[in-house]
Amino acid sequence: MLVEESIKSAISSIKTNGVRSFLTALAIIIGTAAVITVIGIGSSAEKALEASIDDLGPRTLSIFPSQRKRGGISSGYNPLVIKDAEALAKNKEHDWMIAPAMSGNRQVKFNNSNISGDINGYLPINFKVRGFDIGQGRIFTEKENLGRKKVIVLGSKVPGELKTSANQLLNKDILVAGTSYKVIGILKEEGSTGWQNPDDDLYVPLLTASQRIFGTDRLGWINVGISNDTNVDYVMMTIEEILRQKHDIGPGGDNDFRINDWSQYSDLRRQATGIFTALIAGIAGISLIVGGIGVMNIMLVSVTERTREIGLRKALGATQKSIMMQFIIEAVLLCILGGILGIIIATSLLFLFISINDWVFSMPLSAIIGSITFSALVGLFFGIWPARRAAKLDPAVSLRYE
Amino acid sequence: MLISTQNLEKKYQVGSETVVALKGINLSVKKGEFLSIMGPSGSGKTTLMNIIGCLDSPSSGSYMLNNKTVSDLSDDELAKIRNSEIGFVFQSFHLLARNTALDNVMLPLKYAGKQKAEAITLAKDVLGQVGLSDRCSHSPSELSGGQQQRVAIARALVNKPSILFADEPTGNLDSKTGSEIMKLFKKLNEEGQTIILITHEDEIAKKSKRVITIMDGLIESDVENNDE
């Protein structure tokens, strides 16, 4: 019943001095709001990142041509060529999907519309590796690739850029660098991956691109689709072994290609987000401590204002412990209310931010529990001194305090 | 003997000067007495009340309450004695403004560690005794001065204390209300309640059965009063 009395007394004191209580709790409110917002943004961004990695379909490694150095002198690019991809594809040891690609910019025309389009030379398997789904029509076949057919698949936004619609374009011819190609399919919207947008691109069979458009067998990159349970290091070793043999690189020679593991990038990004979150949490922690000092200050004022009340409570039999409890509960309650208000503000900000970015709301429960606990601890820590002062007051003197 | 003091002295340090407020008080009070302590301001009557009310400890001398020495107890032990043995009524009522009459009366029971249901029953009973059964849920600002002082008296009585201390209980009341409060004290005394009144008004002191006058930290007179 004494605890109930303390809580009742604390609530009525906070309510009576409403504006003062709010201003006192402001630093706690801002601190908590900052932590929760940043953690929420981090968590939602991670969810979005995971979603975009899932969009990539199976895990993907990418092989890029690289500068080859001999004795410190760069000897230019040693290209990746179609034959390299064929050599990789011939290896049956791994259950991988070899997806070589080349790309370049060419003029694309339909009726009177005219854009500069990113033309990609793909194999049918490339669509699978990248997780692209066909929206209308179909993807070209291996046979069409081998036959260097003039067929083209469009990203979902290309019809719009050509000022027409998907229905108008399907099975029609468009001009790519002056040659007409038949539109056989239009992809579903894939969304930007951050560094490029597949919805803006156009896709033709690799051999068509190689011989009819770009006139080269040099590849831009080779994607290697592997299943998630694959031993990535072993796959990378095999790729190195095959390509070094094809490129005739002796022992001790540097690779003239590099292999990227995209999941490593997401790990890095996650790490960066983590560091950022920790940094903001640290700053917000300082704000909470500053808030705690404010709470201590106002509690000291409150103890002075209520000297007579404390004297009376002591005259009626309140022990030092019960007076202390009353004021600590008031300080803790003030901080917890500040924390809750901060969380409410942060959540509203997050919903705004997330609706702008088209992310999914995600907030770890531990962050909410943690920040309220931390606020409570701030109240406890900074409430102790004022509460001790109240508890130590001389009842005879404080009863007559004016 | 309810109260028995021996050579009670109290010294205060004011800057470099030592002020002696009580210079050796020997006082005995029996159960059921109605006693007034009189004296001008600065005479030491407030200091005496603080000590026998267990709000303060003497510098020297001994004080026995209910045959128990209390002059050398710790703060928290004194708090427990104040809670169970002593009820205070003050000139300015000292009610908690944001609490109802019932909550104010329940406060000592909370510090006594009583269960809520029991506390409510006890508090309502004693509010009935002072004639305020119908004012339980009123806050002090909704009550007249006399009613507020009755709430304060109910609060002082709720733990059935050995002594009821009243420090200028009519000082903030008009004379009619004041005499009503004095009648209430008289009635309580007739029911067996020991009452100690601290006052500087002769009129008020006359209503009690024994009047002690304090002057310069010493008992100047101790007179039985048989007028009433």
Confidence of residue A72 (pLDDT cuts 50, 70, 90): low
- Specify the amino acid at residue A43: S
Residues of chain B with Cβ-Cβ distance to A308 below 8 Å are: 94
At A366-385, the pLDDT tens digits run 889 988 999 999 999 999 99
| DSSP code for A55 | H
Strand partners, A240: none
SS3 for B210? Answer: strand
Q: Compare CB distances from A396 to B55, B80, B94 and report the shortest one's residue.
A: B55
| pLDDT score recorded for residue A71 | 57
Question: In this complex, do A1 and B110 lie within 8 Å of one another by their Cβ atoms?
Answer: yes
A100-144 tens-digit pLDDT: 999 999 999 998 888 999 999 999 999 988 888 899 999 999 999
Radius of gyration of chain A (CA): 33
Q: Domain locations in chain A?
A: 2-52+266-399, 67-255
Chain A residue with CA closest to B54: the answer is A315
Q: How far is B118 from chain A (nearest CA, A)?
A: 11
B76 contacts chain A (CB < 8 A): yes
8 Å CB contact between A186 and A169? yes
Which pLDDT band holds residue A287 (cuts at 50, 70, 90)? Answer: confident
Backbone phi, psi, residue B8, to 5°: -65, 120
The model's confidence at residue B200, banded by pLDDT at 50, 70 and 90, is: confident
Judging contacts by C-beta atoms under 8 Å, the chain B residues touching residue A398 are none
pLDDT digits over B143-156, tens only?
Answer: 999 999 999 999 99
B98 and A16 within 8 Å at the Cβ level: the answer is yes
- Helices B116-129 and B145-157, packing angle to 10 deg: 130
Distance from C-alpha of B175 to C-alpha of B160, rounded to nearest angstrom: 28
Rounded to a whole number, what is the distance in Å from the CA of B194 to chain A's nearest CA?
Answer: 18
b vs e for B11-25, b when ≥16 Cβ sit within 10 Å of the residue's Cβ? eeeeeeeeeebbeeb
The number of C-beta contacts closer than 8 angstroms across A and B is 68
- Cβ–Cβ below 8 Å for A1 and B114: yes
User: CB within 8 A of A392, min separation 6: which ones?
Assistant: A320
Nearest to A140 by CA among A124, A125, A128: A124
Angle (CA) A336-A342-A344 rounded to 5° is 110
Q: Is the pLDDT of residue A362 over 90?
A: no
Interface-testing mutation among A7, A302, A316, with chain B (most B C-beta atoms within 10 A): A316
Per-residue pLDDT at A195: 61
* pLDDT surpasses 90 at B124: yes
Average pLDDT, chain A: 87
Task: From chain B, pick out residues whose CB is under 8 angstroms from the CB of A5.
Answer: 107, 110
- Nearest residue of A to residue B118, measured between CA atoms: A1
Nearest CB among A5, A16, A395 relative to B110 is that of A5
Distance (Å) from the C-alpha of residue B119 to the closest C-alpha of chain A? 10
Report the gap between the CA of B33 and the closest CA in chain A (Å). 22
State the Cα–Cα distance between residues B211 and B196, nearest whole angstrom: 10
A399–B55: do the CB atoms touch at under 8 Å? yes
Best of B10, B46, B56, B76 to mutate (most A CBs within 10 Å, chain A): B76
Which residues in chain A have their CB less than 8 angstroms from residue B108's CB? Answer: 316-317
Of B56, B107, B116, the CB nearest to A316: B107
Q: Which residues of A touch B (CB under 8 A)?
A: 1-2, 4-5, 12, 16, 308-309, 312-322, 394-396, 399
Q: Mean pLDDT over residues A146-153, rounded?
A: 94
Closest CA to B3 of B40, B59, B48: B48
Strand-pair category, A151-154 with A179-187: parallel
Average model confidence (pLDDT) across chain B: 90
d(CA A314, CA B139): 21
Task: Read off the pLDDT of each residue in B205-220 and give the average, rounded to a whole number.
Answer: 90
Domains located in chain B, CATH noted: 32-45+78-224 (3.40.50.300)
Query: Is the CB of residue B83 less than 8 Å away from at least one CB of chain A?
Result: yes
